[in-house]
């Protein structure tokens, strides 16, 4: 039908134990400036391990900290905001030099960020931002423009799906997470006024492959007219492909798919013709994060917002890019 185009709250103790990268004996002051010997300790609270993107992001942060000689206290929140809050409080108690985190959801951070500010510990947001009226609670936000990613997905949809009736299933990311909210908004803005494109079902698959499969199965049962998918990440798109094939349909043909991330498995599915278009979201933020941390700890000015540069991939471009894809 389509034109063919191409910690468990990283329990506080654990946050500084088993998963810590490097020793937990930072010996640093915690009020900026690093240790007396110039060493820097960063407390980092990660969302979890929900996707291929997240795994690549964690690896990038751990490798970059080691390269920069920054001692990393790494805590995995296993997708729970309360675990992130516990980890941040623990970092404050330990008086780390800088705290960085990728907020699992957008709201509910003001109190703990205020605690960090009162303790004189600078905070860097990475990957995802917070929804707060007080932007003095953090030094800088390093990450993608998720609205723009959704817009790029929607623009491709308008160009490639807009001339025939298209019934879209939207697989949303984690409820309340910035990339889920923003990618939904960007896509909706881009398709607005295109009568042929309708989002007929929209539900969270929590950014996981299992979630994508489960939600897609249910959507195909209740909406047999679905002939397109917009997945907020590759993992959910890959789960949706399994559900589409199990329903006896051909992903990429009977049901076309747009996704976000461009991790290796997603790019392979794009090259194989099972996904039709991917908007890149770059997880390799570690190097920039360590540079920003060094500046912030030294008391240097940093931009309030650092946006990651990203591209998009068609099936042909995926075939070309795959051999050199780093993640």
Q: Which of 74, 33, 53, 46 is nearest to 293 (CA)?
A: 33
Q: How near is the Cβ of 280 to ligand AHR at its closest, in Å?
A: 10
Dihedral over Cα of 83, 303, 64, 231: its sign: positive
CB of 270 to ligand AHR, least distance (A): 15
CB of 248 to ligand AHR, least distance (A): 28
Phi, psi for residue 310 in degrees, rounded to 5 = -145, 160
Write the CA distances from 222 to 129, 207, 245, 318, integer angstroms.
35, 21, 17, 33
Tokens of 294: 């060094």
3-state secondary structure 86-134: HHHHHHHHHCCCEEEECCCCCCCCHHHHHHHHHCCCCEEEECCCCCCCC
In the complex with ligand AHR, the residue whose CB is nearer, 121 or 216, is 216
Cβ-based nearer residue to ligand AHR, 220 or 262: 262
**Residue 34 or 205 having the CB closest to ligand AHR:** 205
Whole-number Å distance between alpha carbons of 225 and 221: 10
The minimum distance between CB 207 and ligand AHR, in angstroms, equals 4
30 or 52: CB nearest ligand AHR:
52
Question: In the structure encoding, which two tokens stand for residue 156, read together?
Answer: 């491709």
Q: Which residue has the tokens 């923003």?
A: 182
Residue 219 neighbours by CB under 8 Å, 6+ apart: 169, 201, 203, 226
β-bridge mates for residue 98, sequence order: 42
Nearer of residues 51 and 94 to ligand AHR, judged by Cβ:
51
Which residue, 166, 168, 208, 163, is CA-closest to 184?
A: 168
183 or 274, CB closer to ligand AHR? 183
Nearer to ligand AHR, 39 or 202 (CB): 202
In the complex, least distance from residue 111 CB atom to ligand AHR, rounded to whole angstroms = 23
CB of 188 to ligand AHR, least distance (A): 18
CB 73 within 8 A of CB 46: no
Write out the residues near ligand AHR by the rule CB under 6 A. 50-51, 53-54, 127-128, 179, 207, 233, 260-261, 281
Report the nearest approach of ligand AHR to the CB of residue 306 (Å): 15
């Amino acid at each position: 039908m389509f034109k063919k185009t191409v910690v468990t709250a990283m329990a506080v103790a654990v946050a500084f134990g088993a998963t810590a990268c490097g020793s937990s004996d930072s010996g640093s002051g915690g009020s900026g400036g690093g240790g007396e010997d110039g060493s820097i300790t960063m407390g980092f609270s990660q969302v979890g391990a929900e996707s291929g993107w997240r795994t690549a992001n964690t690896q990038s942060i751990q490798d970059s900290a080691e390269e920069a000689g920054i001692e990393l206290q790494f805590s995995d929140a296993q997708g729970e905001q309360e675990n992130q809050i516990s980890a941040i409080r623990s970092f404050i108690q330990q008086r780390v030099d800088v705290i960085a985190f990728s907020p699992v959801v957008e709201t509910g951070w003001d109190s703990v960020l205020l605690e960090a500010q009162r303790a004189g510990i600078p905070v860097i947001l990475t990957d995802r931002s917070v929804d707060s009226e007080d932007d003095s609670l953090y030094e800088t936000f390093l990450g993608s423009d998720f609205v723009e990613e959704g817009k790029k997905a929607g623009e491709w949809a308008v160009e490639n799906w807009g001339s025939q009736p298209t019934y879209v299933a939207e697989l949303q990311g984690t409820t309340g997470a910035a990339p889920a909210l923003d990618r939904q908004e960007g896509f909706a803005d881009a398709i607005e006024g295109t009568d042929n494109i309708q989002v007929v079902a929209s539900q969270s698959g929590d950014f996981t492959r299992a979630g994508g499969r489960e939600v897609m199965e249910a959507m195909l049962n209740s909406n047999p007219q679905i002939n397109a998918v917009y997945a907020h990440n590759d993992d959910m798109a890959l789960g949706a492909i399994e559900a589409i094939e199990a329903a006896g349909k051909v992903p990429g043909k009977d049901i076309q798919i747009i996704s976000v991330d461009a991790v290796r498995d997603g790019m392979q599915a794009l090259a194989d013709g099972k996904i039709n278009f991917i908007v890149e979201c770059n997880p390799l933020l570690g190097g920039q994060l360590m540079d920003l941390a060094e500046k912030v700890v030294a008391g240097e000015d940093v931009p309030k917002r650092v946006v990651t540069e990203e591209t998009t991939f068609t099936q042909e471009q995926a075939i070309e890019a795959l051999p050199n894809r780093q993640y």
